[in-house]
Amino acid sequence: MNALGFAWRSLVRQPARATLGILGVAAVGALLFDMLLLSEGLVISMRELLDRMGFEIRVTATDQLPGRGPDILDAAAVASSIATLPSVRSVMTMRTEDATIEQSDGTELRASLLGAGGESLRPWTVLRGRDVSGQREIVVNDYASRTLGVEPDATVTLRASCAGGAEAPPPMEFRIVGVAEFPFDTPGASELGTTASALAAACGAEAESSADFIVVQSTGDADAAAGEISALRPDLRPFTNDQAIGQMERGGFTYFRQISSVLTTVTLSFAMLLITVLLTVSVNQRLGEVAALRALGFSRRRVVLDVLCESALIVGIGGILSLPLGMLLAMWLDKILKGMPGIPTSLHFFVFEPQALWMHAALLAATAILAALYPMRIVARLPIAATLRNEVIG
Amino acid sequence: MRSVRPLVFLVALSGVWCGLLLHAQEGPLPSILIARQLAEIEGLAVGDTVELATDAQGGMARTFHVAGIYEPTPDPMRLGETPREVRLHLPDLLELTRDESTPAGTEYVEAINVALVDPSDAQAFSERLNATIPGLVARPTSGAAGSGSTFVVLERFHLAIAAVTILASTVFLLALTIMLVDERREAVGMLRLIGLPARRILMQVLLEGLLIASSGAVFGLVLARASEYLINTFFQWRYDTALIFVRVTPEVAAVCVAIAVPLGAAATVTASWALLRRSGLRLARR
């Protein structure tokens, strides 16, 4: 019988302890798997979200990420000059202001009004109706449509709150022409989309003046396009998607990576300690048996291998069970974290990628080996005659 | 004269905060306080003069005297960001940021902080203010973010992780206690044979379990206290912040002990229960 088969029989002989050991590894392994998914999940998910918009570069007025720094002044002219660059395919200005919509019962619905300027490209995807084309037309997200009880062709009275609430222009009537999905839709938040000039009008201006940031689609080489933009406008800061993600990783995203590292370390140490204790106690209880096997002709290498195989079986079976458990746990934890305000519906904290699976397997394998070291040392150094004698006298 | 070039700052109400602090130190130039991190980056020190402007080109710049360096209030929402902040007197800030078309005295502020004589009156005061001044939103600072705030959600997340960890520990603990109890099978059998009732042995096992669980809980708390120091030191260094990341409060310690001790004792008793149901002779048999 080979070492693995022998180890399997040792486990089966003690079903309660073996089952509990495997279940313990499964629970710890599930947590470990989730921490590996969490370490890169937010970054992968955000990258997918940015890539899905189809624009590889975001241009801002300062080093701050889009939406956090000051506005770009004279945005339409800036966008036009960027559009002339050879490596640029299309350009769009983006400006967001708060707005309130009067509801039929007299109350007001707070919403975010996004004005997109430039060519025919829009950051949203129309689900029903059509896209905005003229003045005083808006698209709304599904939540706003349901809350207001309106469908395309309805008219709403909208009051924009511009310049951080400093300007309060008079309310204006807008026609809803479609229901759209916005890339950064958040649960329970109303989003409205219109043209940059319509947003400027809602803010009481005659023409589009400023933008929060400008998004740019390159002809293929985002880095080259970003370089050309920097050369054209040294006062502006173009971010490629990779650079934006890098900045986010250094900022708020880093918290989840750090907590993932801490919990991965704690989980692995915990698993290793417990499996070591489990195997050591198990080996100590079977010292006479091991000595007898050695006396019968089992080599030292073979009994050491038996212990290692036992560890591998506990960790291996527990590790396999931990994957479905981990996926279920990840869904639960993701749901909890997505309860944070301002988290887009399509953003996830736990994202599966094959690399996490390999890392999980490698870490558990290392744990199995390290956990078996001490009990392996005990059986390797076991004095056969003395142990058998003690066993008989005891 | 040093110049803080791209200081397109985000100072709003900070002037109100530091007004009292600066009052005693006013010189011929208007004075400001500089965030420690900004002072380190720009090499600024108390007594320096700096120019502040509201645009990157440095238009309409004004000269200020650095009256002090301050440690910014730690803000978990801005973790990882270097606070490039200055604090001005509110009149100086308004003077600096006022548009040419805006007459002095007609500027706006984003918020007003109110300290009440009786803080417990905050809710009622807010409601009164909301009812009497249309267009104004007043709310108490405590619990203003509600149950969906970032930190409430993070707390929920940490609790979920703790629950999974406790579950895994319980399973391991049961496995270990089963093994340990099994190791003492013969001793228990002998005790049964010399006449000790199962209840008496179970009580002994329970007391032993309580003792081990209590010792483990105390050791765990000591370990947590040491980890608290290490984690805080590391993350405060990593993010250059005074924020406290981990804090083992008496309440947290009490909850940990309240979970760990009964759990440890229960695991010991559960593991022993199956053994004690067998006859003494069967247990003592080799």
Residue A265 confidence (pLDDT): 86
Residue A165 confidence (pLDDT): 57
Predicted confidence band at B18 (pLDDT cuts at 50, 70, 90)?
very low
* Within a domain: B89: yes
Do B262 and B171 share a structural domain?
A: yes
Section B184-193 average pLDDT: 80
* Within a domain: B111: no
Tokens of B185: 């099978």
* Within a domain: B19: yes
Residue A122 confidence (pLDDT): 84
Do B257 and B160 share a structural domain?
A: yes
Do B280 and B156 share a structural domain?
A: yes
Encode A72-88: b = buried (16+ Cβ within 10 Å), e = exposed: beebbebbeebbebebb
Do B244 and B154 share a structural domain?
A: yes
Q: Is the pLDDT of residue B32 over 90?
A: yes
pLDDT above 70 covers what percent of chain B? Answer: 82
Predicted confidence band at B1 (pLDDT cuts at 50, 70, 90)?
very low
Q: Which of B168, B118, B140 is nearest to A270 (CA)?
A: B168
Residue position matching structure tokens 């109890």: B181
Is the distance from CB of B220 to CB of B260 less than 8 angstroms?
Answer: yes
DSSP letter at A167 equals B
Name the residue with higher pLDDT: B24 or A393.
Answer: A393
Please list the residues that pair with A175 across neighbouring strands: A137, A155
A interface with B, Cβ–Cβ below 8 Å:
16-17, 20-21, 23-24, 27-28, 30-31, 61-63, 69-70, 164-166, 235, 250-252, 254-255, 258, 262-263, 267, 270, 274, 277-278, 281-282, 284-285, 329, 332-333, 336-337, 339-341
Tokens of A211: 């933008």
CB contact under 8 A, A277 and B176: yes
Q: Is the pLDDT of residue B10 over 50?
A: no
**Nearest residue, CB atoms, A252 vs list B8, B80, B168:** B80
Residue B219 confidence (pLDDT): 92
Do B121 and B78 share a structural domain?
A: no
Main-chain phi, psi angles of A129, to 5 degrees: 80, -145
Residues of chain A with pLDDT under 50: none
Residue B13 confidence (pLDDT): 35
Q: Which of A33, A51, A31 is nearest to A43 (CA)?
A: A51
Do B156 and B134 share a structural domain?
A: no
Candidate from A190-204, B54-68, B101-115, B205-219 with smallest mean pLDDT: B101-115
Residue A168 confidence (pLDDT): 66
Q: Which of B116, B62, B115 is nearest to B89 (CA)?
A: B62
B interface with A, Cβ–Cβ below 8 Å:
6, 8, 55-57, 77, 79-81, 108, 110, 145, 148-150, 153-154, 156-157, 160-161, 164-165, 167-169, 171-172, 174-176, 178-180, 182-183, 231, 235, 238
Average pLDDT, chain B: 79
Is the distance from CB of A132 to CB of A177 less than 8 angstroms?
Answer: yes
Q: What is the nearest CA distance from B167 to chain A, expressed in angstroms?
A: 7
Rounded Cα distance, B105 and B124, in Å: 31
* Within a domain: B106: no
CB contact under 8 A, A333 and B157: yes
Q: Is the pLDDT of residue B231 over 80?
A: yes
Section B250-257 average pLDDT: 91
Q: Is the pLDDT of residue B201 over 90?
A: no
Give the count of beta carbons closer than 10 Å to the beta carbon of residue B52. Answer: 24
* Within a domain: B105: no
Residue B23 confidence (pLDDT): 46
Residue position matching structure tokens 């007898």: A292
Do B261 and B178 share a structural domain?
A: yes
Is the distance from CB of B263 to CB of B174 less than 8 angstroms?
Answer: no
Among B97, B129, B162, the domain boundary falls at B97
Please list the residues that pair with A118 across neighbouring strands: A92
**Nearest residue, CB atoms, A285 vs list B171, B183, B235:** B183
Rounded Cα distance, B241 and B246, in Å: 14
Give contacts of B179 with chain A, Cβ < 8 Å. Answer: 17, 278, 281-282, 285
- Per the structure, the complete domain to which residue B256 belongs is given by 150-284
CB contact under 8 A, A165 and B108: yes
Do B213 and B278 share a structural domain?
A: yes
Do B157 and B274 share a structural domain?
A: yes
* Within a domain: B129: yes
Please give the residue of chain B at the shortest CA–CA distance from A64: B81
Residue B16 confidence (pLDDT): 36
* Within a domain: B109: no
Alpha helices in chain B (DSSP H): 14-23, 36-42, 90-97, 122-132, 150-183, 185-193, 198-239, 250-276, 280-284
pTM, 2 dp: 0.74
**CATH code at position B73:** 2.40.40
Number of domains in chain B: 3
Section B179-185 average pLDDT: 77
Do B277 and B154 share a structural domain?
A: yes
Give contacts of B171 with chain A, Cβ < 8 Å. Answer: 20, 23-24, 27
Half-sphere exposure of A374 (CA within 13 A, CB side): 14
The secondary structure of A130-155 as a DSSP string is ----STTEEEE-HHHHHHHT--TT-E
CA B20 to chain centre: 28
Q: Which of A314, A306, A292 is nearest to A384 (CA)?
A: A292
Q: What is the nearest CA distance from B53 to chain A, expressed in angstroms?
A: 13
* Within a domain: B123: yes
Q: B79-98, pLDDT tens digit by residue?
A: 767 778 899 998 888 888 87
A155-161 and A88-102 strand pairing:
antiparallel
SS3 B215: helix
Name the residue with higher pLDDT: B50 or B97.
Answer: B50
Q: What is the nearest CA distance from A129 to chain B, expressed in angstroms?
A: 33
Q: Is the pLDDT of residue B248 over 50?
A: yes
Q: A187-206, pLDDT tens digit by residue?
A: 888 999 998 888 888 888 77
